[in-house]
Structure 1
Amino acid sequence: MMKRIVRISAAVVLVVAAVLLGGSFYLLSYALRPDAVMAEKESSSYKYMCEEYPFLEGWIDSLRRTGALRDTVIAGTEGERLHAIYAAAPQPTDRTAVIVHGYTDNAVRMLMIGYLYNHDLGFNILLPDLHYHGESEGRAIRMGWRDRLDVLKWMEVANAIFGGNTRMVVHGISMGAATTMMVSGEAQQPYVKCFVEDCGYTSVWDQFSKELREQFSLPAFPLLHVASWLCDLRYGWNFREASALGQVAHCDRPMLFIHGDADDFVPTRMVYPLYEAKPGEKELWVVPGAAHAMSYRDNREEYTRRVGAFVGKYIPDDRQ
């Protein structure tokens, strides 16, 4: 009788372990390798941007016609080929913006912020495709954590392309905002003057916990713990260490925090601990009525004014 109970118990444990492991592998693939979504976005990026932001079409056509919109590549931290697009300012300047896209997006889908800096504010711009996104190679999405090391490389590239003595802002939206905050906690070069983050999450753990609860009605334990462990084994990072909150606490440059008060994807509540954790100079704009990553689209003039005013304090306009 006892042997039978032991066998049944062992079988139950094995089944539970198999289900847990299978669920964790599924979660990892679902979150970090959504290939169909990314392929669809990549194929329609320019069309989508010109439909969503009609004013971009003439600007993009002008950049292409004059050869001003260019491509460049570097080797990433894993030796993979990483791609970016860049354009010089309409008038020569050392003012430079590195602009970081969100989850499953790509450089092209951040061209509205490129327009803000290049067309409206007169900046040089560089927009990278993060690891596994756009025209960059890679094994899986890294949620900004290891991407921060690649963005630091892109910042060096942008500085070199635009004269070697730039004054630089880094601006990201959504996962790109989390990446920007993760970058901000690293040692910075003197040319880096400020950061702008728009609707970034506190940490990958917090964001995935929220998605697991809302999409699958599941608690974080134990699935997220196992998935994080598998991510560390397979990709070399885990969900807990990937913390914008931890990194922004070490940021020694000014930062503008932007978040829509109707954001239910990266909840608005996340911006407050991020803002509080950031030492030194900072500003917060909670945008009335704005859903996730829609603060610029829905408030273009005010967004441009606020970003221009904030960045202008640390990178004055040399055209004036």
Structure 2
Amino acid sequence: MKKRSLFLGGILSALGIGGLGYFITNTFMYLPKKDYKLVRSRETDAQRIIQEEYDALPKEEVNIASPYGYHLNAIFVTPHPHNKYMIFAHGVTENKLNSIKYMNLFIKKGFNAIIYDHRRHGNSGGKTTSYGYYEKYDLKAVVDELIRRAGDDVFFGLHGESMGAAVVLLYGGSVEDRADFYIADCPYSNFGEQLSYRMGVELGMPARFLLPLVNRTLKFREGYSLKDLSPSSVIQNIQKPVLFIHSLEDDYILPRMTEELFNKKQGPKMMHLDFRGTHAQSYNEDPEKYDSVIQRFLEEVEASQKG
């Protein structure tokens, strides 16, 4: 009887631990998204979207096939006749409307643009948020569509914010270093560390010891691991120029993560941490400075190509 009780106790304990793993992975894979209308209203009220100006831009809505069986809703914005493009990757819970402020900045610099919704966000399909694992291949599908339309000689850069920044770096470091340059605004370097940090802040508990459990559950459920979501493991493979942007006041994703990525990146790179504001607010707090940093980076990219 005692052995049976121990056996049952072991099963119940395992079920409890397994349930905790499912709960944690469910929490971040199905993180509640911001309402589309809410994002539009927020950006319009802040005058980061001027509806009349946006409506006047020549554009085409395109549904791009993801390699995973759903569509990615994208908008190709083409006010310029030449072959220069930017592709923008938004953060988790956001949608492509949040990318319009960055798009406007680059349109003024002579770039055409592509804004799109990540899987499970906005008007795109997809069941879960994978924090870069599937999203990096979705980004390749967007790049492939750009090349199909504009040709192999297209000059393009990638800009990502928060999770979108991690997606951009994971794409460049583990799928293909195809872009001419990358801009990573407040990325996480290691998703496991970021998850542990946020759980510690929000739950008030040391959460690092839970990472092996989360990793096993994630591998069992989705087929990938926490390391697969960590740009720090692949950043050394990106040979093209990378601009890293982060605010020292960011207490959601700590700026030391950007410093880690910067230090591991080989070849041309630039980093600016002297922005104001909380997470993903560098542009919102000081758009003129953001513009200036981007301009200096683009000038270095251009100079390196001529050299």
Same fold (TM over 0.5): yes
- Matched residue, 2:16: 19
Distance 1:315 1:151, change over 3 A: farther
Contact 2:180-2:241 at 8 Å conserved across structures: yes
- 1:182 equivalent to 2:179? Answer no
- Tell me the CA shift for residue 182 of structure 1: 0.7
- Tell me the CA shift for residue 222 of structure 1: 5.0
- Matched residue, 1:111: 100
- Matched residue, 1:170: 158
SS of alignment partner, residue 180 of structure 2: strand
**Equivalence map 1:163-312=2 (5 Å):** 163-185=151-173, 186-189=175-178, 192-220=179-207, 222-312=209-299
- Matched residue, 1:43: 37
- Tell me the CA shift for residue 235 of structure 1: 2.2
Q: For residues 286 and 239 of structure 2, what CA distance do their matches in structure 1 show?
A: 29
Q: For residues 236 and 147 of structure 1, what CA distance do their matches in structure 2 show?
A: 15
Deviations 1:263-297 (A, max 9, x none): 11101111111000000000010024321100001
**Equivalence map 1:118-137=2 (5 Å):** 118=107, 120-137=108-125
Number of residue pairs matched? 302
Q: For residues 283 and 290 of structure 1, what CA distance do their matches in structure 2 show?
A: 20
AA aligned to 1:256 is L
Sequence identity percentage: 23
Using structure 1 for the length normalisation, give the TM-score: 0.88
Using structure 2 for the length normalisation, give the TM-score: 0.91
Q: For residues 53 and 232 of structure 1, what CA distance do their matches in structure 2 show?
A: 43
- 1:52 equivalent to 2:46? Answer yes
SS of alignment partner, residue 169 of structure 1: strand
Q: For residues 233 and 271 of structure 2, what CA distance do their matches in structure 1 show?
A: 18
AA aligned to 1:45 is V
- Matched residue, 1:76: 66
SS of alignment partner, residue 188 of structure 1: coil
- Tell me the CA shift for residue 221 of structure 1: 5.2
AA aligned to 2:56 is S
Distance 1:54 1:97, change over 3 A: closer
Contact 1:167-1:315 at 8 Å conserved across structures: no
Contact 1:182-1:244 at 8 Å conserved across structures: yes
Distance 1:221 1:259, change over 3 A: closer
Contact 1:169-1:194 at 8 Å conserved across structures: yes
- Tell me the CA shift for residue 309 of structure 1: 2.2
Contact 2:43-2:49 at 8 Å conserved across structures: no
- Tell me the CA shift for residue 101 of structure 1: 0.4
AA aligned to 1:168 is F
Distance 1:246 1:92, change over 3 A: same
Q: For residues 139 and 156 of structure 2, what CA distance do their matches in structure 1 show?
A: 13
SS of alignment partner, residue 240 of structure 1: helix
Q: For residues 213 and 198 of structure 1, what CA distance do their matches in structure 2 show?
A: 23
Q: For residues 116 and 210 of structure 2, what CA distance do their matches in structure 1 show?
A: 32
AA aligned to 1:17 is A
- Matched residue, 2:80: 91
Contact 1:183-1:247 at 8 Å conserved across structures: no
Structure 2 portions without partners, runs of 5+: none
- 1:146 equivalent to 2:140? Answer no
